[in-house]
């Protein structure tokens, strides 16, 4: 992984479990050392009906889960955009007239309208600047980073749960710690996401807008993570509920704002970080990607979900 990718964008903690971004460099360095090249060829997504066809301008927006962050080959500096992201795979299938990748790792919903910076240096412009009047397709995955206080987002929460496991190994200390904090953060994200969708429609009235959900970052059955993830089974169940609430919020907001929600949790279930065949990697990835993020196979499966939605 490029050395620049480990630079801190945020530091400090808060009273609700915010994990310092300064802890990320060591984690990512370890991931880079342990990551091995993919040995299985990634099959191209199934062909989609050209309802959103070769004359369409396609724009991809969102955070690291949209950027395919950490999967080689990477471009875009600290945005860590992968040439195997679901957006790139969808574009390769649809062959649009143009494809613009405005995704960026660590993006929160505010990054749709405000430039992303790192230590005062501009990392990415406002993502909605990429949407033009003639844009015909927009995909968007965003909101998960708003759950945390650092740029790690949902991973920030998972790391906090990992630390709290030592205080009560047989309970749900993370759930007890956060109480209703994460619910309140999701409640605050919904109107921001709605505003972003309205702005997309205003800028590109003819665009088809897809809100792509988050994959199976934690399993349905918490017992499968025993000995594999340093989090109590009670808190694995809690995190699955938080992930479900995040996707439900995105689906409701999409439906209320003339957008279509794409479920990527269901097609990746059974291939979570604790499974025998993970498409979302664990805290120390075995394949090149960021912790708790899809690997190349996971991105292909998510691309298939997008293409299947476009067929309907």
Indicate which residues carry an active-site annotation: 64, 293
What is the 3 state secondary structure string of the chain? CCHHHHCCCCCCCCCCCCCCHHHHHHHHHHHHHHCCCCCCCCCCCCCCCCCCCCCCEEEEEECHHHHCCCCCCEECHHHCEECCCHHHHHHHHHCCCEEEECCCCCCCHHHHCCCEEECCEEEECCHHHHCCCCEEEEEEECCHHHHCCCCCCHHHHHHHHHHHHHHCCCCCHHHHHHCCHHHHHHHHHHHHHHHHHHHHHHHCCCCEEEEECCCCCCCCCHHHHCCCCCCCHHHHHHHHHHHHHHHHHHHHHHHCCCCEEECCHHHHCCCCCCCCCCCECCCCCCCCCCCCCECHHHHHHHHHHHHHHHHC
């Amino acid at each position: 992984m490029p050395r620049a990718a480990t630079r801190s964008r945020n530091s400090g903690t808060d009273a609700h479990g915010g994990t310092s971004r300064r802890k990320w460099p060591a984690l990512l360095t370890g991931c880079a050392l342990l990551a091995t090249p993919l040995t299985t060829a990634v099959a191209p997504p199934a062909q989609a009906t050209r309802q959103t066809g070769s004359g369409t301008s396609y724009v991809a927006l969102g955070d690291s889960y949209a950027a395919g962050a950490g999967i080689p080959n990477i471009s875009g500096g600290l945005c860590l955009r992968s040439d195997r992201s679901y957006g790139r795979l969808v574009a390769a299938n649809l062959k649009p007239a143009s494809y613009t990748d405005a995704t960026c790792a660590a993006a929160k919903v505010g990054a749709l309208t405000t430039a992303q910076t790192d230590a005062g240096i501009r990392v990415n412009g406002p993502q909605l600047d990429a949407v033009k009047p003639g844009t015909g397709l927009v995909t968007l995955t965003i909101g998960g980073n708003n759950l945390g206080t650092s740029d790690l987002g949902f991973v920030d929460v998972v790391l906090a749960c990992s630390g709290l496991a030592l205080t009560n190994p047989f309970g749900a200390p993370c759930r007890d710690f956060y109480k209703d904090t994460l619910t309140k953060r999701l409640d605050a994200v919904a109107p921001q996401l709605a505003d972003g969708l309205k702005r997309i429609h205003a800028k590109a009235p003819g665009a088809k807008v897809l809100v792509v959900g988050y994959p199976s970052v934690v399993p349905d059955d918490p017992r499968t993570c025993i000995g594999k993830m340093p989090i109590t089974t009670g808190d694995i169940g809690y995190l699955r509920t938080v992930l479900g609430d995040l996707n439900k919020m995105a689906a409701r907001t999409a439906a209320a704002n003339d957008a279509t929600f794409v479920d990527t949790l269901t097609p990746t279930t059974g291939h979570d970080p604790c499974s025998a065949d993970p498409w979302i990697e664990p805290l120390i990835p075995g394949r090149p990607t960021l912790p708790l993020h899809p690997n190349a196979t996971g991105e292909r499966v998510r691309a298939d979900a997008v293409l299947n939605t476009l067929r309907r």
